[in-house]
Amino acid sequence: MNSTSLYVHIPFCKSKCVYCDFLSYSGKEEEVKDYIHGLLREIEIKKPLIKEKTIKTIYIGGGTPTYIDSIHISEIMDHLRRNFNLDQKAEITIEANPGTLDIRKAESYRAAGINRASLGLQCTQDRLLKKIGRIHTFREFEDSFRILRAVGFDNINVDLMGGLPDQTLEDYMESLEIVAGFDPEHISSYGLIPEEGTPLMEMIKTGDFELDEDLERTMYDYLLNFVKSRGYLHYEISNFARKGYESKHNLVYWSLEEYIGLGLGAHSFAGNKRFNNTTDMKRYIDLNLEGLDSSENFIELSSKELKEEFMFLGLRKMEGISVLEYQRKFGNDINEDYGQEISEIKGKMLIEQSGDRIRLTRTGLDFANSVFSAFIKD
């Protein structure tokens, strides 16, 4: 491959949401400058890894990248351009949280070449936003969206969530209706997943909140019909876009393509190896400032593991996986490896095959995890 993608991690945020288990911190603003110095140095250190490859997508995530001073984002983009070969048409995304964005920052992002924004809304009801620990109100989302439009962002994603504490079906339907009224190019909607160590998990353990899988399934069913009625293409289990506005960066992950992670704890996949940067902030900064690579946990994936990832990541896409691509990538027919599994899952009406493509059925979407697990062999 002569191209790759970059993920850049900014681990700072104003406060942690109750469901968040990402590597991020609140109350560590005094470390921002040192962290950025370490990150800029890492870009130089990782340069030999990328060599002559063209960068086709960049995703600046967190944490909350829009929480820190926008001058740091400009520094990062400038350093990336000086050290790597960026495709002139590269998709460059920044995650943005309402309540951390103003017109000065937005203009700075556009001037730095960032051309896509992903706004984390989650829902439109202020009582629910407060319940899950979001720092913003719906009004601040409105302001942020209009600011992004005003400075020239013509590719905006809005994140929503279903199954939140105290969220009703009517709440979810209202959120979809309101968000669609803003006409974003992309909508993501994820179900709530409780993770160990989060306040949300404690709420579940103490009985303050109980997951309702039936309600989440009803929300998802409504979602699929709603977005279709509004002209959005359903291209991945939880992602919907206007034609031509699919997230190119996320498609890199789902297509088992190469990417390099920059920043604290950031993960990479290159040369059939997975590895990540240290998750220790001080160690990350010190290593990079000393000119040493902060990567660790190198794991070379076996042919079996690569095939498994190709299947369960690829089946997340509504177009599914290509039988011909499987053969080209691994050198053998897909039925030699998964013929029995494919036949059994077809029999349950969870996947279907049309020509070169194997994809989830509508029923398969509801039981996607069981489909994925069928392709992971002991």
User: Are residues 334 and 195 part of one domain?
Assistant: no
Together in a domain, 129 and 195: yes
Pair (179, 77) in one structural domain = yes
Per-residue pLDDT of the chain (378 residues; tens, 9 = 90+): 699 999 999 999 877 666 665 667 777 889 999 999 999 999 999 999 898 899 999 999 998 999 999 999 999 999 999 999 999 999 999 999 998 999 999 999 999 999 999 999 999 999 999 888 878 899 999 999 999 999 999 999 999 999 988 899 999 999 999 999 999 999 999 987 766 776 666 777 777 767 788 999 999 999 999 999 999 999 999 999 999 999 999 999 999 999 999 999 999 999 999 999 999 999 999 999 999 999 999 999 999 999 999 999 999 999 999 999 999 999 999 999 999 999 999 999 999 999 999 999 999 999 999 999 999 977
Do both 40 and 108 map to the same domain? yes
CATH number at residue 354: 1.10.10
- Residue found under tokens 């062999």: 377
Does 45 reside within a domain? yes
* Domain termination site, one of 223, 254, 285: 254
How many structural domains comprise the chain? Answer: 2
Residues 147, 101 contacting (CB under 8 angstroms): yes
Task: Please give the model's pTM, rounded to 2 decimal places.
Answer: 0.94
Dist. CA 161–CA 175, nearest whole Å: 9
Do 245 and 145 belong to one domain?
yes
- Domain's final residue, options 254, 288, 319: 254
Do 82 and 213 belong together in one domain?
yes
Decide if 65 is inside a domain.
yes
| Residue 264 placed within a domain | no
Look at residues 239, 254, 269 and tell me which one is the last residue of a structural domain: 254
Residue 328 belongs to domain spanning:
303-374
Looking at the structure, do residues 115 and 182 belong to the same domain, yes or no? yes
Q: How far apart are the C-alpha atoms of 327 and 338, rounded to whole Å?
A: 12
Quick one: 124 and 221 in the same domain?
A: yes
Residue 333 lies in a domain: yes
Q: Clarify whether residues 30 and 139 are in a common domain.
A: yes
Clarify whether residues 9 and 128 are in a common domain: yes
> Which CATH number fits the domain that encloses residue 230?
3.20.20.70
- Distance (Å) of CA 329 to CA 257, 270, 313, 343, 378: 11, 15, 15, 22, 22
